[in-house]
Structure 1
Amino acid sequence: MVRKLKFHEKKLLKKVDFINWDVDNNVHEVKVLRKYRIEKREDYTKYNKLSRNIRDLAQKIRDLDEKDGFRAQSTHQLLEKLYSSGLIPTKQNLSLTEKVTASSFCRRRLPYIVVKLRMAQNLKTAITFIEQGHVRVGPEVVTDPAFLVTRSTEDFVTWVDSSKIKQHVLNYNEQRDDFDMVE
């Protein structure tokens, strides 16, 4: 017969995953998961793997002969892709790819962009708004907080037309037009 666990023991057991306990020792991973409020650890591992692949690809491009036309073309394509994704600040040189990390991908997630655009005060409320269907990117309503926003679609992040939050913001700013709210 086993004794009943005390409150603090139950709380500790909730935090420990006995299946993947050897993976839980990564303190940096836990910090990133908490900072960007990532619920699925698989998302972080995907971002980590992608960033590692990007750095490896950049290293392979760097290893090519400098006079080779393929090197210049592939460098331009890689930098263009990373810049349009929002993972690097400029398209200047290949050394910027060394700074692409899992956190770079996390900063392109929709909740982070919503906070950056000041549509929400913090990541928790941004995630709530997204999951409840208040935010759209272009014409599409996005309910997945893991949605990655590119530079070109960043300008089209806005409230859904029928959102009560949008109505509240417009009322507060005294910009509400009753004709726009009719559906």
Structure 2
Amino acid sequence: MTKAIRRIRPRLPWAMLVIPAAAGVPLGILWWLLAPGGLNLVTRDPAFGSGTNPNVWLPRDLTLAGLLVLAGCLLAVVLADRKRADPQADLVAGLAGALCGAALAWQTGLLAAQLWAPAVDASANASIAFSLRAWPVLLLWPAATAVSVFVLELLDLMSRKPAADHGSRRTQWQGQ
């Protein structure tokens, strides 16, 4: 009698894709709350409260950049955990989730500005409205995740003690 052999397919790490992507929603709201031109909870300076001041545009982008880098470092700590069944698939799914989460954070921040901020006449310049001028900022979350995972794995590799080398040439030659 022959037994049917079932091929076990590795399951996709959906949690590593969905959780970072879903984390983009609160991150986008936090961006609007903290950024100059948004609710401006960091400086509370009235000069930075409106997007009509061009000095607001760079700090607004840098606020999102800082939040995305922080999220990337936190995701890297989760991904560098040793108890994962398929760490490579988790890393790829985590990076894809981070990219989706960054785009979702950007769009959520823009939606929060449309819903809760006063209407702004952006006919002179589109950056007067709450927006992101530097789109490469969206790549910071996956980039920070990848670099942080690399550093954490490298530190883990360097902290391990080398295994006892029982079959080395030195021990073989000393025995002769």
Q: TM-score, normalised by structure 2?
A: 0.30
Question: Which structure shows the bigger proportion of residues in helix conformation?
Answer: 2
Question: Which structure shows the bigger proportion of residues in strand conformation?
Answer: 1
Q: Flag the structure with larger Rg.
A: 2
Q: TM-score, normalised by structure 1?
A: 0.30
